[in-house]
Structure 1
Amino acid sequence: MIWIGLAIVVLTFYLIYKNYEARLVLACSGLIMAFIGQVFAGSSTTVSVAVDAFVKQLVNGGLVPTIVTVMGFGYVMTYTKCSDHLVNMLVKPLTHVPFIVIPGAALITWVLNIILPSAAGIAAAVGVLLIPALIALKVRPVMAAAAVFVGTWGSVVSPGLMFNPQIASIAFKAKEIPSADAMIVIMQEALPCAVGAVVAAIVLAVICAFLKEGVGSTEITKELPEGEEIQKDFKVNPIKAIVPIIPLALLVLASKQVGLLPTKAFSVPVCMLIGTAIGIVVAIFNKQKVGDVSKRFCRGAGDGFCDVVILIAAAALFAAGMKSIGLTGTLVDAMKGSQSVAMFAAAVGPFVMAAICGSGNAAALAFNEAITPNAADFGLTVVQLGAVAQIAAGLGRTMSPVAGGVIILAGIAGVNPMEIVKRTAIPVILALVVVTVLMFILN
């Protein structure tokens, strides 16, 4: 049974790598393993139990409201152009300080990705502004694209990322944290990830200097992307630029670690709805229809449920299938008593999967559903193990030549995605080592 289960898992991730629909592949694999476990091994985790695991995620009161409201808020910020004002406000000053443009571009992208937690979305929003500006400073286009791409993992500390609410829910069930609050998880991840981001930015700057691809290294031999002239004349409205930050600021102020606002009154959904309400006010001043803003929010919420919640549910079904066929128990037994093995598996598995197929979501979700609840058996906390898995997935994506973000940036810069990845690989590998070690030491 174990070997059959392992073969199914390998085939599952191979199909995901080949760009088959991840939700369908995970769900089908989970059902097949659950059926085999029920019929041939007499497992207590039957097909009906596995389906129940799927359904429970669809109505998860801590997970679903967080994801759909964050996605809805993000769509509203895009529609009202508030996100454009924020990006322009942060990016433009870099062009006046040439010697920090490479690490600065990486860190600004990383911070913006926390607020707007879509790697491809932030790559497009920042890339269309920053890459032409860097090329104008005679930075080689491939390095300009790499500087933006290496910052597209900031979403790992965003309350809108699917993993943080998931880890919080698991940790709460394990009685490790007082409530299923994603901000508790984020506060434990924040410092290690911030240090990792700085390390990645500095290492990329060193690589840039070694390859002589920085400011003044080349002549401008290609036309800059269309629309650059418009961006040069873009007038930042500070009020609009601040709006996307408001929900994140409220969440930090209401976190147990800060405590300036009542935690229960300012949950993630509440803060996102406050931000959306402010977005509606902005839309009114923009002479945009309030009804259209509402439609954008609903579309974002719907896409969040479709793209994120159902993926999480499919991963839960897959994990139930692994348990039914006996694979989860075998993996747990293999890692029991060895912190180093568990941490290595959490870091390397999702990282490699993400680097290969451009998304580590499926691997990280499956790992967190199947292995992370058993963190205590390895002498680790749920947050440590789960956070390392999801951070590794984000970093692995940041050195994948097939990730959506790198393809967008390669198109803007007019370069080969593989050339970009060659420059981001060392920075993100070192960042993974730093973050994993710090998560182990500090938490």
Structure 2
Amino acid sequence: MGIVISLIVTFWVGYLITRKYKPQPVLFMAGLILMFCGVALGLGTILPAKNSTGSVFFDAFEFIKQTFSSRAAGLGLNIMAVGGFARYMDHIGASRALVKLTIRPLLGLRAPYLVMAASWVVGMLLGLCINSASGLAMLLMVTLFPVLVSLGVSRLSATAVIATTLCLDWSPSDTGTILSAQTAGLDPVLYWTNYQIPIALTVMPVVAGFHYFTQKWMDKRDGHEVVPIVVDKTEADKDEKPVPMIYAILPTIPLALILIFSNLWISWIKMDIIKAMFIGVFIAMIFEYVRTRDGKKVLDGIQSFFDGLGMQMANVITLIVAGETFAKGLTTIGTIDAIIKGAQTSGFGAAGMILVMVGIIAGCSIVMGSGNAPFFAFASLTPTVATKMGVAPVLMLLPMHFAASIARAVSPITAVIVVSSSMGGVSPFDLVKRTAIPMAGAMLVNVIGTFVYFYR
């Protein structure tokens, strides 16, 4: 009975989210329904007896309160600091300066599709400092898209490459990376260097090659002629306020601090993500004062940092807590135990369970148009599932996290696809036809690489 109820509720969640309902309240409601049903059917409890409020109804909200408290103080502050820093970098123009400096070496090449493939690799590297897929895509559509089209690449090909530049959320300061590392009980830097980098470095040449041959073949199939043309500047580019090119180093400062003051190099000085972001903002404020000589303007500008903090709390932290509430409901009603037992009795084993979880996350990402929503909903379940299957949680979290961001680039309703297609003047449905083959390659490498490098 519990399985039937959980399936009905899960399909209801997917239906509402695909209908553009706000995912947080949908997940909260679903979690509460599952919790109450689980208790009513005698399938589980919400809180241990020693932590209970004395009322099942109140226990559900006590769980939400405790989850908010723990997430906001630890993981939440990390994510908010990253979001605030990113917002401030956009405000002062440092992100755009970094993109312009990075793509400059490509301008000397005259092989259109080679430049296009190399641009994808550059975009992936930029993703280490610019964590927002849609934000990075907007910057590249303004700066790189005109370059690619002027070399003779079709608008669809250029847009497809840009829309998939952050198909792996692989920065140590990425929200999913932080959540994965914390859930796996690992330091984010060590999780990045030991687990994410090997997969990312394997994915890069594969996807770059897929883009080169796929876009070239599809352009030829569609009758596109590779003829250099002049592309007018977009309105965003015309309104751009120039900043010194030295500003390009500012978005890289926190990443440099996190890597330098870690177990990789200088381990006796303690550095974490929050301090690195605060230091990065402080240094950027000094740069801004030297450039503008206007103390009031510099201090007023810091409001964008605080706005970024609030946006992360409103959009990301609430989504994580909502996802954990939904996951708690699935646990309370007995669904997770049933899935694990079913996998064990059917002979799936740990490897089969990893494939099932990756498939669920990828499918949900495409349908929901979000990588974060499904991953955040299932991430907290992973330690329990992994322990019962006899593998380390990281072996499930790593491919699940990457599967979410890869599949996101194949959904016509996700933000990065909608933004890119709008700015490129192409259909989002035509665009995902161009991204599907490279992302299929990325997904295969993601799964196979996890088994080859880490599964023992």
1:128 maps to which residue? 142
Which residue of structure 1 lines up, in the alignment, with residue 291 of structure 2?
Answer: 286
Q: Hey, what's the Cα distance between the residues in 1 that align with 2:268 and 2:8?
A: 49
The 8 Å contact of residues 180 and 401 in structure 2, kept in 1 or not, is answered as: no
Within 2, Cα distance between the matches of 1:369 and 1:313? 10
Q: 2:336 aligned with 1:328, yes or no?
A: yes
**What SS does structure 2 have at the residue aligned with 1:85?**
helix
Change (3 A) 1:103 1:27: same
Matches within 5 A, 1:90-101: 90-99=102-111, 100-101=114-115
Whether 1:56 and 2:66 are equivalent positions in the alignment is yes
Q: 2:274 aligns with which of 252, 269, 274?
A: 269
Structure 1 residues 432-441 or 160-169, which shifts more?
A: 160-169
CA distance in 1 between counterparts of 2:329 and 2:154 reads: 49
Match of 1:209 in 2: 216
Matches within 5 A, 1:124-273: 124-154=138-168, 156-172=169-185, 177=186, 181-187=187-193, 188-212=195-219, 217-219=225-227, 224-227=232-235, 230=238, 237-256=244-263, 258-262=264-268, 265-273=270-278
1:367–1:389 contact (8 Å) kept in structure 2: no
Higher mean Cα deviation, 298-307 or 427-436? 427-436
Decide whether aligned partners of structure 1 residues 192 and 430 sit closer, same or farther in structure 2, where only a CA change above 3 A counts. Answer: same
Aligned match of 1:392: 403
| C-alpha distance after superposition, 1:110-151 (max 9, x if no partner) | 121221111111110111111111111111111010111121
User: Could you tell me which amino acid in structure 1 is paired with residue 76 of structure 2?
Assistant: V
Aligned CA distance change for structure 1 residues 30 and 239 (closer, same or farther; 3 Å): same
Contact 1:50/1:320 (8 A) holds in 2: no
Question: Partner residue of 1:309?
Answer: 317
CA distance in 1, matches of 2:303, 2:100: 26
Deviation per CA, 1:135-189: give whole Å up to 9, x if none: 11111111010111121224x21233222222222222xxxx4xxx222222211
Q: Is the 8 A contact 1:168 1:185 kept in 2?
A: yes
Name the CA distance, whole Å, in 1 between partners of 2:309 and 2:248: 22
TM-score (norm 1): 0.91
1:343 CA displacement: 1.3
**In structure 2, C-alpha distance between the alignment counterparts of 1:139 and 1:224, rounded to whole Å:** 15
Moved more, 200-209 or 337-346: 337-346
CA distance in 2, matches of 1:342, 1:5: 19
Does the aligned pair in 2 maintain the 1:38–1:47 contact within 8 Å? no
Question: Are 1:404 and 2:415 an aligned pair?
Answer: yes
- How far the C-alpha of 1:50 sits from its partner, in A, is 4.0
Shift of 1:261: 4.3
The aligned counterpart of 1:31 is 32
Q: Say yes or no: does 1:348 pair with 2:369.
A: no
What SS is found at the alignment partner of 2:391? coil
1:75 to 87, 96, 99: 87
Q: Distance between the aligned counterparts of 2:422 and 2:228, measured in 1?
A: 17
Give the Cα separation in 1 of the matches to 2:104 and 2:67. 42
Work out whether 1:434 is the aligned partner of 2:445. Answer: yes
Structure 1 residues 398 and 390, CA gap change in structure 2 (3 angstroms): same
Secondary structure of the 1:399 match is coil
Structure 1 vs Structure 2 CA RMSD? 2.4
1:223 deviates by: 5.5
Q: Is there any run of 5+ residues in structure 1 with no aligned partner, and where?
A: none
Query: 2:127 corresponds to which residue?
Result: 113
Counterpart-to-counterpart distance in 2, 1:228 and 1:163? 30
The whole-number CA distance in structure 1 between the counterparts of 2:237 and 2:321 is 45
**Which residue is equivalent to 2:52?**
none
Corresponding residue SS for 2:29: helix
Give the Cα separation in 1 of the matches to 2:391 and 2:80: 31
The Cα offsets for residues 202-240 of structure 1, whole Å up to 9 and x where unpaired, read as 1110112323469x9344789535248759x99773421
DSSP 3-state at the match of 1:401: coil
Deviation string for 1:264-297 (max 9, x for gaps)?
x210101111111111112212326232232111
Q: CA deviation at 1:44?
A: 1.6
Counterpart-to-counterpart distance in 1, 2:60 and 2:397: 21
Distance 1:304 1:120 in 2: 15
Aligned twin of 1:4: 5
Q: Secondary structure at the match of 1:115?
A: coil
Q: Which amino acid aligns with 1:146?
A: A
Larger mean Cα displacement after TM superposition, 72-81 or 234-243? 234-243
* 8 A contact 2:14–2:368 mirrored in 1: no
Q: Is the 8 A contact 1:57 1:309 kept in 2?
A: no
| CA-CA distance at 1:362 after TM superposition | 1.8
SS at match of 2:380: helix
* Paired residue type of 1:166: L
Aligned-residue identity in percent:
25
Determine the C-alpha separation between the residues in 2 that align with 1:182 and 1:57: 21
* Correspondence list, 1:84-95, <5 A: 84-95=96-107
Deviates more, 1:96-105 or 1:38-47: 38-47
Separation (CA, whole Å) in 1 of partners of 2:286 and 2:403: 39
What is the rounded CA distance, in whole Å, between the counterparts of 2:236 and 2:176 in structure 1? Answer: 36
Tell me, which stretches of 5 or more residues in structure 2 are unaligned?
47-55
Equivalenced residues, count: 431
Tell me the alpha carbon deviations over residues 402-435 of structure 1, each in whole angstroms, 9 at most, x when there is no partner.
Answer: 1111222212221111222111111111111111
